[in-house]
A and B are shown apart, each in its own frame.
Chain A
């Protein structure tokens, strides 16, 4: 259970970074929508889990936030990727791709390949 959350949190952070990288400054709801559109069920029930992740990223210096006006002129908090965040995104993307590639290769291996 715990482990699942950890993985989820880790990937969620990456998704947030990527979203900000693609869309530019966004508020929490915008990011939630975007992630939902792309990933489907990661945030289906729990949009709220986004906020602790955002806070963590902010404390690490990957994103900064400030108040701004949303599309319907409400006060909303906008998150923006920092240079450091961009760097982090790059590193993590690489890591992730590498991991994914390795895992993928493992899944491709069949019993007869090893004999």
Chain B
């Protein structure tokens, strides 16, 4: 109670401290006056009387200190003093301050931008209430630990598990033909099939209307209802609340809008925001796989299953339960579930298993942290030099009784202010980078599907940035502060600069030089390697034609064609397009290489005559359905055998073309040509391999060479196809002829996504990775620039501080060449050590990146050949310039030089 009262009084005093100071002065004056009067009365002479009075009163300043300490919040007062002092002294050296702030800002800005990326890819929780309880259930196989479940499997999981409040499922977001009015031509939008309990289990309250009811997901094809995504509602319907109850047409079927998801729920995906959600019971309208029955086939695995854990149920319990269920599946349905397990993942586990994205993120953050480290080393070096120059000031402060702790606090306050300024500027830079991403948004993802750049600055990123600032302040400021206050008082008072060469204290700066060299070398190695392997990825496996190709997407399901009609349509379309004026060649394909949101089918097969491993039913490969013009039109070389022919009709023996990767994979010694495979199982339909095509990139620029198989359209029908037409000139000139052809075939059939393939390819496969290359390159360049600037400053400073020593040496008869030799030898030694460490670290990073991302091949010699000499050159220059100057000035001057 008493202490609380004291605290309140102190707070009050803190506010009124000026008046208090005045009062104390008056009281002291009064006290001394009274004592002087007394002394006068006992007969002392006036001057002596006053002197005695003051002696008796004791040390006024020390008392005042006590008084102040008693009076107010000493800590805050001192802090404010420190801050004022620090700002004053930083202002005095504004050039250096600016440099330090910019350096830190670059480091912090890059790191926070990169962290915002990793945050989006890994850490940001699902946009639902209590996101921690939402887990992902995955099917696991030899090849994948994050496989999907089939509809039947989902139902079993939903009904037979007890660990969850609810189990939900969704298919991948897919291209859906959307028209707002039944009559309007359809446009491609992104829709997602979800289970009826999706919104309910995720606890997402629709902003308008309602979510799905459970019964709307029970009868196949009965309830054509749709829930709109918030952005889609805003852009497509201008946030019109009257949209409820309206009919929209999806893939040619009328759906009733029943609700709109809230702004807070952009969806569960990282990159995509579904435009609308449909119940899974409507799968017939959306399912892409014509050969499988979504509702019945246990191996039609299209569903991503998530669940909300019951409170009190542990992850381990859920895992055990699902493992038992997976074993039951295995024994009940050996045909579909042999050696197939199941796993429960938390959000973090899911994201770190999902794909390469997070690995990229992690590598970027490591690079950014390296930049930050370089920045900090720079700043530490600068602050150290600055502190050196203030040796005398510090020595005087120590001499008149400032405590070491107080001085260290003062110096730390300075670096904290620097770091805060740097942090603020860094946040601005981070914002800039994130905004830049957003501005690239439309370029990178030129697609009809709703793709969003998920990186953004939020409070968590800001906190991280601020944390980084404080960390860097401590990192940069502590060592100089400690060193400075350890200075030798006597020497410090005698000269402005106490350093005597050869003293132990020098090693601090030497370590900085070595660290600069090695980190920048590592950074450079990493960015060189990444940039080079990106470039490599861009070139490799992309030798097919991209120019003069028009692509038009068709989906006859939109006008309710059956299989026969579809087949007939494509047959006629191909024939007429081939003979249209200006068309050099024609192709139909289900997917284009490196297209946007391609939907490659998988195919299960057993090579004839191959002994299957005991725990495997079949092998799988990705595949594409193409017509006989494909290889020629795309200029994908057939290495052996043949491509497809018009004679490969539905009635002819089944044939396939495999890529070289697959051929080598399964027939490493012999030729795959003429070999047979059977679909699904050893008893399945036989298919003969009639050709081996060159391996290209199929899905993404960064993929490793993968197994791939082509099937002829006539034998393996598909609904959604791309027509590719090669022209001699601008491919878009062919659009009108295609329009005419389609019009004669069926005026109602929409032409979806009509573009030049080259545009699509550039956007998808070149510009996106290009941004990654730019980012890595920028980080490498900034890191090197900072390191070089820091290195130069540090070495030059070290040498210039030896001016006096050099003067003495010259006075004693040393030649300037001796001096240069001496000074530069030292610098080169340091750079040499740094280089060795940097090379070792660089190798380690290369190993890491090769194992994480892609094998970019061995060590990048070129990078070293460029960078190492550069660093040596800069060090030599940095040592040479001040040494030269020092060796030229007259010894008398040098001796006086401070």
Tell whether A and B belong to one assembly. yes
Interface positions, chain A 38-72, Cβ under 8 Å from B, are: 44-49, 51-52, 55-56, 58-61, 70, 72
Of A33, A48, A75, which is within 8 A of B26 by CB?
A75
- The answer to the question of A86 belonging to the interface, with a C-beta cut-off of 8 Å to chain B, is no
Which B residues are CB-close (under 8 A) to A49? Answer: 58, 63, 66
Q: A32-B31, A52-B67 are in contact. Are A47 and B57 (CB under 8 A)?
A: yes
Chain B residues in 8 Å Cβ range of A46: 57-59, 63
In Å, the complex CA distance between A58 and B23 comes to 14
Q: Are A60 and B2 in contact (CB under 8 A)?
A: yes
Complex alpha-carbon distance, A59 and B102, angstroms: 47
Which of B5, B56, B59, B63 touches A59 (beta carbons < 8 Å)? B5
The verdict on B867 contacting chain A, using a C-beta distance below 8 Å, is no
Report A50 CB to chain B, min CB distance, Å.
9
**51-105 of chain A: CB within 8 A of chain B:** 51-52, 55-56, 58-61, 70, 72, 74-77
Compute how far the CA of A75 lies from the CA of B10 in the bound complex, rounded to whole angstroms: 25
Q: Are A59 and B6 in contact, CB atoms less than 8 angstroms apart?
A: yes
* Known A-B contacts A59-B9, A76-B30, A77-B30; A51 and B56 likewise in contact (beta carbons under 8 Å): no
For residue B3, which residue of chain A has the nearest CB? Answer: A60
Q: Residues 24-49 of chain B: 1 if any A CB is under 8 Å from the residue's CB, otherwise 0? A: 10111011011101100000000000
Closest to B58 in A: A46
Distance in angstroms from B41 CB to nearest chain A CB is 11
A51 touches B63 (CB 8 A): yes
Asked if B546 is at the interface of the complex by the 8 Å CB criterion, the answer is: no
Contact of B539 with A by CB under 8 A: no
B822: chain A residues within 8 A (beta carbon): none
Assuming the contacts A32-B31, A45-B58, A77-B23, asked whether A60 and B63 have C-beta atoms less than 8 A apart, the reply is no
Q: How many A residues touch B, CB cutoff 8 Å?
A: 25
Q: A52-B67, A60-B6 are in contact. Are A28 and B57 (CB under 8 A)?
A: no
User: Are B37 and A48 touching (Cβ within 8 A)?
Assistant: no
Interface size on B, residues (CB 8 A): 31
Q: Which of B360-379 contact A (CB under 8 A)?
A: none
Whether A28 contacts B27 in the complex (CB less than 8 A), given A47-B56, A49-B63, A60-B6, comes out as yes
Alpha-carbon separation in the docked complex, A49 to B57 (Å): 8
Q: How far is the CB of A47 from chain B (nearest CB, A)?
A: 5
Is the pair B37, A28 in contact by a Cβ cutoff of 8 Å?
A: no
Which residues of B have CB within 8 Å of A51? 24, 27-28, 63, 67
B30-A48 in contact (CB<8A): no
Task: Give chain B nearest CB distance to A65 CB in angstroms.
Answer: 9
Give chain A nearest CB distance to B897 CB in angstroms: 44
B71 within 8 A of A: yes
Q: In the bound complex, how far is the Cα of B6 from the Cα of A24, in angstroms?
A: 24
Decide: B57 and A52 in contact? CB cutoff 8 A.
Answer: no
Across the interface, do B71 and A55 meet the contact criterion of CB distance under 8 Å? Answer: yes
Q: Mark B50-67, 1 if CB is under 8 A from A, else 0.
A: 000001111110110011
Chain A hits for B62, CB < 8 A: 48
A-to-B contact residues, CB < 8 Å = 27-29, 32-33, 44-49, 51-52, 55-56, 58-61, 70, 72, 74-77
Smallest CB-CB A-B distances: 10 pairs: A48-B63, A46-B58, A59-B9, A29-B34, A52-B66, A48-B58, A52-B70, A29-B31, A52-B67, A48-B57
5 examples of A-B residue contacts, CB within 8 angstroms: A29-B35, A48-B59, A51-B27, A74-B30, A76-B27
